[in-house]
Amino acid sequence: MTLVAGIDSSTQSCKVVVRDADTGALVRQGRASHPDGTSCPPEAWWQALQTAITAAGGLDDVAAISVGGQQHGMVCLDASGAVVRDALLWNDTRSAQAATDLVAELGGPRAWADAVGSVPVASFTVTKLRWLAQHEPDNAARTEAVCLPHDWLTWRLGGTGDLSALATDRSDASGTGYWSPTTGEYRRDLLKLAFGRDALVLPTVLGPDGSPGRTPGGALLGPGAGDNAAAALGVGARPGDVVVSIGTSGTVFSVATTPAADDTGTVAGFADATGHYLPLVCTLNAARVLDAAATMLGVDHAELSRLALSAPAGSDGLVLVPYLEGERTPNKPDATGSLHGLTLGTSTAAHLARAAVEGMLCALADGLDALRGQGATVSRVVLVGGGARAEAVRRIAPSVFGCPVVVPPPGEYVADGAARQAAWVATGTAPAWTLDGLETFEADAVPAVRARYAEARELTLPRV
C-alpha cells in the first residue's frame, strides 16, 4: 500500500492525515494546537507539526506529503533563512490603513481587481509588507525573502535551508496581492509600491502537481495550497457546488473556470489547487462566534446547539452582529459586535444562542449573494470546518441560505485535500477518491431573518 500525508496548518491548530494513495482510506491522523493571537512565531507551527506528526504515528513510511495552510500570513526571512519577526496572520488588522493607502495609490479598487483579481484589505500579504516598511524599517531592511505559512512549512520539510528552494502554489500565491491568477506572474511593481523595493526572493509558483523536491527522508513534497483551495480539493467540489467553511474564518467559495475580478472587493479572485479559480468571500468571524456565545452562556457546544434550536427562527427579533474581531467582509476592521432587539422576552439563553448562530450564518449568506453576483450558480452548499459540527448550524443554515446544505461526515477536509494533492504528485494522476456519508439538511427559507439582520448590521460601535 502506498501512503500519502496531508497537513492542515490552520489558524488554531495543525492536523495531519495519512491516507492510502489508491483508495483514499484514512490510515492514521494526529493534531496539535497553535498559539492564540493574530501574529505567531513560525517556529510554533513547526513544533505543532512535529507533535501532530508524532500523534499520527510518524511519516517515515509515506511516499508524498503536501501542506495546506492558512492564507496570506507574512513570513519574512533574512539572508541566512532565519525568521525576521513573528508572522502577521490573515486576521491581523494592523495593516488596514496600509490597505486603504495602497488601493488609492494604484488608482482605486478597479486597478487592483484588474491587476491581481482582488482588492486588498488588511488580510492580504501586500498590505502587511507596507506596514512592515513603515513601522519596522530595520526588520524590513533585513528581509531577503517573503513567503506564506504553507510555503515556509514545505521549505522546512525540504530541509535545504536555501532560499532559492522556496516554493508555493497558485492558490496561495493569489492571496498575496502581488501575483496575478490571470497571467500566472508575480507583479513585482506592486511589491515595490508596497515595500519600496522588489529585489526580494519570492517562492516559485508551482502547478497543481508540481514538486519542490523531497524531504531528507525521501518523501516527495507537493506544492501545497491555501487552506480553502485544499478544502475544495478535499470535498471534491464540482461546478455548482459552493463550499462554506466555518473555521476561525468564515469562507464561501466555488470552483470556477474563469478568474473573478470584483472591484467592490467583496469577492476575492483567488486561484484554486487544480488549475482553475476559486472566487471566495471571507469573514473574520465564524466558529469563534459560537465559542464566544457558549462562553457567555457558560455552556458547551452541544448545549449551545440545543438552546439555539429551542428558540424560534429569527429569535423574536434579537440580532447578534458578529464583528467580534472587527470584520473583513464588509471591510470594517475596527468594528465590534453588537446585540439588537433586546426585550424582556428575548433576554433568554435560548434567544442569545439562536441569535449567535443566525448572525454568523447571515454574514455568510451575504457572501453567498456576492458569489452569485459574480456569476456563481449555487445548486447546493457543502458545509465544512469545525463550526459545521454544531447541530444548530447544520439545521439552521438551509433556512438562512435558502438552499439545501450538504454536510460530509466530521473530518479534516483541508488536510484531506492536501493528501489528495500528495497522491496526485506521487502517482501523476489526480485521485478519484469518493466522499461517502454526506447528510443533506433542508428547511424552508425564512427571509425575515436576513431582512432583520440587514437592518442591524450597520449599527455597530468602533473598538475602543
Q: Which of 151, 227, 291, 366 binds ligand 5SP (CB under 6 A)?
A: 227
Is residue 31 packed enough to be buried (19+ CB in 10 Å), middle (13-18) or exposed (0-12)? middle
Task: Tell me the window of 103-111, 113-121, 190-198, 245-253 that interacts with ligand 5SP (CB under 6 A).
Answer: 245-253
Decide: is 355 part of the binding site for ligand 5SP (CB under 6 A).
no
Active site residue 169: no
- Binding residue ranges: 71-72
Residue (301 or 340) nearer to ligand 5SP, CB: 301
Contacts with ligand 5SP: how many residues (CB under 6 A)? 16
Residue (10 or 66) nearer to ligand ADP, CB: 10
Among 360, 349, 363, residue whose Cα is nearest residue 294: 349
Residue (172 or 291) nearer to ligand ADP, CB: 291
Among 223, 190, 237, residue whose Cα is nearest residue 376: 237
Instruction: State the CB neighbour count (10 A cutoff) for residue 431.
Output: 22
What is the per-residue burial (b if ≥16 Cβ within 10 Å, else e) of 283-303?
bbbbbbbbbbbbeebebebee
User: 317 is in the binding site of which of ligand ADP, ligand 5SP, none (Cβ under 5 to 8 A by kind)?
Assistant: none
C-alpha cell at 141: 531592511
- Binding residue ranges for substrate: 71-72
Measure CA 394 to chain center.
Answer: 20
User: How many whole angstroms separate alpha carbon 192 and alpha carbon 257?
Assistant: 30
User: 290 is in the binding site of which of ligand 5SP, ligand ADP, none (Cβ under 5 to 8 A by kind)?
Assistant: ligand ADP
Quote the least distance from Cβ 129 to ligand 5SP, whole Å.
16
User: 431 is in the binding site of which of ligand 5SP, ligand ADP, none (Cβ under 5 to 8 A by kind)?
Assistant: none
Element (H, E) at 288: helix 287-297
Quote the least distance from Cβ 351 to ligand ADP, whole Å.
18
Residue (54 or 295) nearer to ligand ADP, CB: 295
The CA-atom distances, in angstroms, between 168 and each of 153, 207, 211, 368, 372 are 10, 9, 10, 28, 29
User: 282 is in the binding site of which of ligand 5SP, ligand ADP, none (Cβ under 5 to 8 A by kind)?
Assistant: ligand 5SP
Quote the least distance from Cβ 124 to ligand 5SP, whole Å.
8
User: 390 is in the binding site of which of ligand ADP, ligand 5SP, none (Cβ under 5 to 8 A by kind)?
Assistant: ligand ADP
Instruction: State the CB neighbour count (10 A cutoff) for residue 51.
Output: 16
Strands 26-33 and 13-20, sheet pairing: antiparallel
Residue (276 or 288) nearer to ligand ADP, CB: 288
First to last CA, the chain: 57
Q: Which of 11, 66, 176, 315 binds ligand 5SP (CB under 6 A)?
A: 11
CA dihedral of residues 316, 318, 321, 325 (deg, nearest 10): -120
Residue (314 or 417) nearer to ligand 5SP, CB: 417
Residues that bind ligand ADP (CB under 6 A): 10-13, 247-248, 287-288, 290-291, 301, 385-387, 389-390
DSSP secondary-structure letter at 51?
H
Phi, psi angle pair for 61, to nearest 5°: -100, 10
User: 251 is in the binding site of which of ligand 5SP, ligand ADP, none (Cβ under 5 to 8 A by kind)?
Assistant: ligand 5SP
CA dihedral of residues 287, 288, 290, 293 (deg, nearest 10): -170
Strands 277-283 and 268-271, sheet pairing: antiparallel
DSSP secondary-structure letter at 461?
P
The catalytically annotated residue of 86, 227, 262, 272 is 227
Decide: is 71 part of the binding site for ligand 5SP (CB under 6 A).
yes
Q: Which residues bind ligand 5SP (CB under 6 A)?
A: 10-11, 70-72, 90, 123, 175, 226-228, 247-249, 251, 282
Catalytic residues: 227
